[in-house]
Amino acid sequence: MSKKYTFKSVLEPDRLKLYKKVTGKDMNMQFPQTFNEKIHWISVYAREPQSIKLRDKFKVKTFIKNKIGEKYLIECLGIYNNFDEINFEKLPNQFVMKATVACGENIIVRNKKELNLKEVERKFNSWIKDNTVAKSKILIEKYLENDNQDLYDYKFFCFNGKVEYIMFIANRNRETNRIFFDTKWQRQDFTYNSDVKNINIEKPDNLDEMIAIAEILSEDFIHVRVDLYRLNNGDIKFGELTFHTMGGTALWNPPIMDFKLGQFFNIEPLKEKLVHQFETRKVIFFSQVYNMEQTIKQAYNSLQNQTRENWIWHVVDNASSDNTYKILKELEKTDNRIIIHKNKINNIIDDGNSLLEIALNYDKNDYFAILEGDGEYAPTFIEESKTAAISDNVDIVITGFSFTNLNENVSGSDIILLGHMHKFYFFIQYYNFLKVKGGKLFSNKVLTQNSIKNNFSQVDQLKNIDFCVELLKRSKNSVRIQSILYKQSLPKLKWRTNIVDEVISFYEILIKHLINNNKNVSLQIVNFIQTLTINYIYDILTSLIAADIDLSQKHKELLKIGHSKIMKDILMDKQDVFQLKKEILFKEVITWMLSQTDIEDDIVLEFAQIGQIFCASIQWEESWIKFKILHANASIKLGNNMIIKGENESGDLNQIIH
């Protein structure tokens, strides 16, 4: 690596442990020299979208067709999203089944009648389920076999578009596995995971054609293994492209070959690419502040103290009534990295002042970070988060942070979230990191390509979580690192217009998001989200009761909560997971509801019904009876009013007639 930078993926420690476990040796991923080390380095630090796509056994067919022609492809009999889609009656007696995103997970069917469908389904379901990085499908191809019931596999080890060695395998004959040759078909005295065999293999008459094919297919890659099959009639068929032979854990025999093969690998251009990305990608901080004269200088100082100076600060003054704007203008005079915007009216964003509008002015590969007016970044935030983003090639970096008003730190072990499934599995572990917008570095393409909601006029936990969950939903991947690199006070929920609708929407969207990503969403995660939402509802109801708003509006907001999906879900909870929380929440609300003496006629029956439901859920019979009486009295009163109204209307009608 460059002396100026240290790129270290959160995946590296696990890779080192795995290598040690399999090979018994230590590995150096910071300064890789051997073939295995460089395989690991590339798989972690140079995960190119093209190579990831070409590992898919179905998607790679388009690449092969465009590169060398369709005649080299094995005939595809079908591609399926799941096992239930396969109609085995329409398949021939012999075929090969493969998981499209997997290594070695194939089933060769020589006699369809002997196929145990339940066992095959179990295998494929486990293969597809275990892949959390990309969605795997089921590919069925034509069965290939030579006259002697063998299939000859030629694996071309290519570096920078040039074949250096060829490994020969006779699939059915273990004695002729992993025999290496050079491009002149001179047998080599090395192999891996096997003894070196002194066996002569006849040179194929179309070896030059196979070498030419391999070099065409490998011309765009520093290293790839091109696997081809040769049939008795001379036909050549493409097998697969392998970018990480044996996952970088091959036991080379003799061991020196691991080093010698590593010398064909020139990864220096890839290292310099990481350095170039770090040096050219900007970090843009965004703030929207209101009356922050006491803390805004500290926020700025945390940027000024960054160990990396390539940053820009867009700060929007939200029509502050104190000296915030004046302080910002003074800072702007001495630092041209500050760009000030100003809203004319508080909480009304002027044109050009929204996060999205500002983001559109920058390259999609630049990074953004949110800085609240009372927030502060550690001096190494840019250094650590930016190297993490580049090292792991992720859309979002989530760092640890501390709440200054609670004397509480939020941190956790390094973890990478690759794809939707990972984000689902680890939701509980990373939820606490979503309570603030700050302490995260996210790629600009996440903002600009998906039009993320970015109304910063209200600042509280709910708005923060809404923003952060939306980012995570839209991102391809993210990484969480241990370092505590941000601090601010934890904003509390306060009463405001539409906050009840926002909490209800928060729950419904979050549940829908998780269930859409996994139909078998775990009860633990559902309970976690419900508990979280109940806590928010408790805070909202507390602020609602104390809010300086019309009493009838309070009643209507309460009814919204009573009819919401979250309430229905926890009321239907048969495991009594929320019993204690329900008692605390409902007893306080019920007591307040029963104290109300001026309930509008058009909602009083509904008000009483909701109260009865709350009482029933915690088995509070005494209060349930009171709501029952309220409901009965209201029904009688409304009935009498209807009678009086009817009599009045009848009198009016008589006057008109007579």
DSSP string, 88-148: GGGS-SSEEEEESSSSS-EEEES-GGG--HHHHHHHHHHHHHH--SS---EEEEE----TT
Short-list 287, 324, 320, CA closest to 303: 287
Residues 587 and 624: their CA atoms lie apart, in Å, by 11
Q: Which two tokens stand for residue 344?
A: 């004319």
Q: Say how far residue 526 (Cα) sits from the centre of its chain.
A: 18
- pLDDT at residue 511 is higher than 90: no
Question: For 195-210, what is the mean pLDDT?
Answer: 92
Q: How many CB atoms lie within 10 A of CB 43?
A: 17
Per DSSP, which regions of 255-391 are E strands?
283-289, 311-317, 338-342, 367-370, 376-377
pLDDT of residue 337: 97
pLDDT of residue 1: 41
Residues 397 and 229: their CA atoms lie apart, in Å, by 43
Short-list 274, 472, 303, 471, CA closest to 387: 274
More confident call, 622 vs 467? 622
pLDDT of residue 246: 92
Residues 450 and 471: their CA atoms lie apart, in Å, by 9
Query: What are the residues whose beta carbons fall under 8 Å from the beta carbon of 316, sequence distance 6 or more?
Result: 286, 287, 288, 289, 340, 341, 342, 343, 349, 353, 456
Task: Confirm if 295 and 323 have CB atoms less than 8 A apart.
Answer: no
Mean pLDDT score across all residues of the chain: 86
pLDDT of residue 646: 55
Residues 16 and 39: their CA atoms lie apart, in Å, by 13
Rounded (5°) CA angle 542-545-548:
120
pLDDT of residue 286: 97
Query: What are the residues whose beta carbons fall under 8 Å from the beta carbon of 488, sequence distance 6 or more?
Result: 372, 374, 375, 376, 401, 403, 404, 436, 438
pLDDT band at 105 (very low <50, low <70, confident <90, very high): confident
Percent of the chain with pLDDT over 70: 88
Task: Confirm if 440 and 506 have CB atoms less than 8 A apart.
Answer: no
Beta bridge partners of 329: none
Beta bridge partners of 410: 401
Mean pLDDT is lowest, of 196-205, 405-414, 495-504, for 405-414
More confident call, 419 vs 344? 344
pLDDT of residue 3: 47
For 262-290, write each residue's pLDDT tens digit.
999 999 999 999 999 999 999 999 999 99
- pLDDT at residue 184 is higher than 70: yes
